[in-house]
Amino acid sequence: MIEVTDLKIHYGDQVAVDQLSFSVKSGSIFGLIGPNGAGKTSAIRAIATLIEPTYGEILVNGFSVLHQPEIARGLIGYMPDFPPVYENLKTWEFCDLFAHAYGLKGEQRKAMVLQCLRAVGLEKNMNALCKTLSRGMRQRALLAKTLVHEPSILLLDEPAANLDPKSRIELRNVLLSLAEKGKTILISSHVLSEIEDTCDTLGFMKDGKMTLCGSLEEIGRQKGKGTCLKIHLSRPAPSLPSIIEKIPSLSAFEETGSGGTKYRAFLQGTESEAEQILAQLIQVEIPVCGFICEKPRIEDLFLELEADGNMESKAL
């Protein structure tokens, strides 16, 4: 578990992270999103014990990163955004170096190195020198190195930045399986689709601050953009608007096509409420032939938050 409380990081007069507070539960994948310079990398590096924060508290599995960095480091696996590797080591030697440094011995070390290389799909390239690997392969070698001591907390800064689509899918599956095993994962990324598919909790950062935090649905609700309900009718039903108006959890009801058969509304509630609405419509004999619940799209939310920020700065 990661708990960040009131974190502040200064570089000279510049504030990189300002009063940042959030927590990531075990078995959860938390995605940090934000424009360049939002403070994501600084926050991750502070959690990884690599930057001394100006003040604030960071706990990983209950250990203070500031006061017990040696213990905290043993629990953390950190992968930076640019993948530096030891150019003149073979891929397996690169992983073996860290397995050795983390105290693994003999056969156990060999087996673990092989297992991690297999998990990231680098088994065939294990004898290749790191300098001969492509950028994506280096990224995977780095992920293997990050996993080699089985950390309970993973901090991944732009983990899929250089990966091809197939590798991204594989990475997602690896991360999901690690989360299932109870690992705490914190990811920062610009690839919104990757975050959307992988993370169960999101944090939007801007100018060093966390502007919104929660699951995609919760954030959507906070921004007035809950689940999008698409209602398709087999024939026009003039009574539908008046029925919908009476349901308080629905808003922004509008017709999306011509002919009075396609409508859209935003649900400020859970999926069980959507079930009740569908049941209600069928009960009053509305000819529903299609009923789709669409989660808010992360791209829309991101752009909306960006627009809010721009409006604020213009107002100032």
Partner 1 sequence: MNPLVVRGGRERLRTKNLVASGLFSLILCSTLYLAAFLDGMQTLAPASQLQNGQKEYLSVPANGAREAFPVLLILQGFYLMFLGTGRVASVTAEEKESGLLDYQRMTPMSPSSKILGYLFGLPAREYFMFLLTLPFLAHCALVGKIPLGNLLHLYAAFSCSVLLYHLTAHVIGLVVSRPRAASWVARLAVLALYVFLPVLGQAGISFLSFLTILPTYFGKILPHLLAEGTENLGRFEGQAVAFWRGVPFFTETVSPTTFTFGMQGLFLLTLFCTAYRKWRLDSLPALSKPLGIALFLVLQFLLLGSLWPFFSHGVASGLLGQALELDPAKTGFPNHLKNDAQPAIAMIVVQSTFFLLNLAALLLLTNVCCPNPHRRLKGMQRKEKLSLSKVPSLADEAPGAVLVISLSLIATCVFGCLRFLAFSPDQFHSASTYLNAVFLPGLIFLLTALSLRAAREQWFNLGFWGYVGFVWLTPILACLVLAVDDFWGNSQLMLHLASLSPLTFFPQLITYLSPDLIPGEAQFVDLSTSVETGVIAAISQAIILTIKLFQSNRS
Residues lying near partner 1 in the complex (CB under 8 A) are found at 8, 10-13, 48-52, 54-55, 69-70, 73-74, 76, 78, 80, 82, 84-86, 88-90, 93, 97-98, 100-103, 145
Separation of alpha carbons 144 and 73, rounded Å: 17
Question: Minimum Å distance from CB 295 to partner 1?
Answer: 36
Question: Minimum Å distance from CB 44 to partner 1?
Answer: 12
In this complex, which beta carbon is closest to partner 1, that of residue 88 or of residue 256? Answer: 88
Question: Minimum Å distance from CB 96 to partner 1?
Answer: 8
DSSP strand pairing (153-157 vs 76-79): parallel
In this complex, which beta carbon is closest to partner 1, that of residue 188 or of residue 261? Answer: 188
In this complex, which beta carbon is closest to partner 1, that of residue 157 or of residue 273? Answer: 157
- Exposure class string for 73-107: b at 16+ Cβ within 10 A, else e: bebbbbbbbebebeeebbbbbbbbebbeebebeee
**Phi, psi (deg, nearest 5) at residue 225:** -130, 75
In this complex, which beta carbon is closest to partner 1, that of residue 127 or of residue 283? Answer: 127
In this complex, which beta carbon is closest to partner 1, that of residue 48 or of residue 240? Answer: 48
Question: Minimum Å distance from CB 183 to partner 1?
Answer: 17
Question: Minimum Å distance from CB 254 to partner 1?
Answer: 50
In this complex, which beta carbon is closest to partner 1, that of residue 52 or of residue 164? Answer: 52
Question: Minimum Å distance from CB 71 to partner 1?
Answer: 8
Angle, CA 147 vertex, CA 143 and CA 152 arms, to 5°: 130
